[in-house]
Amino acid sequence: MKICVLCPEIGNSGGNAFIGGHVNTVVQVSRALFNRGHEITIITTPHRYPGNQPDKDILQEWADVYTLPVSGAYLSVKYGLEFAFKAIQKVKELNKHKKFDVVHGHSGYSMLALITGISAKISNLPSVHSIYCPIQVAGGNVVKLFSNEILSKFYFLLIDRIIAVTRNVRNSLIKTRVPEKRIAEVPIGINTELFNPNVSGNDVRKRYNIDPDQPTLLYVGNLTVQKGLSVLIEALNIVKKDIPNIKLLMVLNLPLEKYAKPDRLDVDMELIFEIKKKIKSYGLEENIVPLGLLDNMPQVMAACDVFIVPFLNTVGIADYPTSLLEAMAVGKPVIATKIGGIPEVVKHQKNGLLVEPGNVESLANAIRYILQNKDEAKNMGKQATKTISERFRLEIVADKIEKIYEEVISNHSGDRRY
């Protein structure tokens, strides 16, 4: 099977330092499909931080990658229009000699499904589009504004099969009047060969001078308000009064030098200053270890005692973050907010704890509880690993996607639609 994958910002990243959970998911699932004998072509845009790419691009070992030059700022109108026009043309051009069997697009925002649908339609190919966050009214940048409930149903008109990564996303699609029979629910896939309880975090702790028994939290994400990092820092300030030696590994999706010395061109410049100011005002400099783009995420996750997801909402981001599932696969208890699709994965007091979004006291109490009840935390970690093994293993997800491809190809050959 010849699969054309459309996903912005995979670029020529190299290593494992891709930006964003759903981008990492696209890479992992595509590689799993390659290992099953399928031919993978990826059409994408450049890495957001090109100066931080390793010399070797591991994608080129198993996929044909076409990185389209885009001059517009990330998520701007110009960025979207350039990618749309160039991606549609590139699919048409490549299909002449590659003879694709299916086009599969991926996005957090529904608007990008339009690119998948038009690309496939022009080239007379069946189409699949994976949507990673719920459809909802959202302000902010142009992509958010135009990915609302009213317009979203039109973006999916040309898509043969829509993959919702959570039940919550599926329900949001139905709410926009997308026909239920065209929607398949397929979760995010986790590579348990990379993320599993046997991974050691000892070297990471040594590298950052964290004692073996020192309580350590982990946050992975960007600095946008909706990720709730500010709430986590406030909760850490409370917990520190009882556990003064507590550490927070704060993994950001930008180069560390951008956090250390932001400039006016940085997307999250104001938030960087705000976060750094709050850390300083609380006297948490010695408790927080900021980290940039990493290629050893499994080891970093293994180094923590508890993984924190303080999200305030899931507008435009994965309905449950890939990093949450990866931490669970490593065997870590998690504390997450009760939003989006997260409660579909995290079961309170079974494989983690759920708290209300934005509630600093609740988050602080949950952190204390996990750190002070080690046996229960260990059992939660075991249950977390079991959850991933049973529902989210890459092999399970790849199998479901493979069957969807077979269905849309078969229906397209018979000139039938869902």
128 Cβ partners below 8 Å, 6+ apart?
A: 102, 103, 104, 105, 116, 159, 160, 161, 162, 163, 401, 404, 405, 408
If asked whether residues 285 and 329 sit together in one domain, one would say yes
If asked whether residues 172 and 73 sit together in one domain, one would say yes
pTM of the model: 0.91
If asked whether residues 52 and 117 sit together in one domain, one would say yes
64 Cβ partners below 8 Å, 6+ apart?
A: 40, 41, 42
86-116 b/e (C-beta count within 10 Å ≥ 16 → b) = bbbebbeebbeeeebbbbbbbbbbbbbbbbb
SS3 107: strand
Contact 8, 22 (CB under 8 A): no
If asked whether residues 400 and 380 sit together in one domain, one would say no
In a domain, 164, yes or no: yes
In a domain, 152, yes or no: yes
If asked whether residues 237 and 88 sit together in one domain, one would say no
Residue with tokens 């997800």: 397
- Residue 265, CA distances (Å) to 73, 74, 104, 291, 306 in order: 10, 12, 33, 20, 34
Tally of structural domains, the chain: 2
If asked whether residues 71 and 213 sit together in one domain, one would say no
If asked whether residues 6 and 30 sit together in one domain, one would say yes
In a domain, 196, yes or no: no
CA-wise closest residue to 188 among 27, 41, 347, 64:
27
In a domain, 266, yes or no: yes
In a domain, 197, yes or no: no
**Residue 64, H or E segment:** strand 63-67
Domain limits at 359? 202-391
If asked whether residues 26 and 119 sit together in one domain, one would say yes
If asked whether residues 230 and 94 sit together in one domain, one would say no
The domain that holds 207 is classified in CATH as 3.40.50.2000
If asked whether residues 105 and 124 sit together in one domain, one would say yes
Query: Most distant CA pair in the chain: distance in Å?
Result: 67
Per-residue pLDDT for the chain (418 aa), expressed as one digit of tens each?
A: 999 999 987 865 444 455 556 788 899 999 999 999 999 999 998 876 655 444 445 677 899 999 998 876 666 677 778 888 999 999 999 999 999 999 999 998 888 999 999 999 999 999 999 999 898 655 555 666 666 777 888 999 999 999 999 999 999 999 999 999 999 999 999 999 999 999 999 999 999 999 999 999 999 988 888 899 999 999 999 999 999 999 999 999 877 888 888 876 566 677 888 899 999 999 999 999 999 888 899 999 999 999 999 999 877 667 888 999 999 999 999 999 999 999 999 999 999 999 999 999 999 999 999 999 999 999 999 999 999 999 999 999 999 999 999 999 999 876 544 3
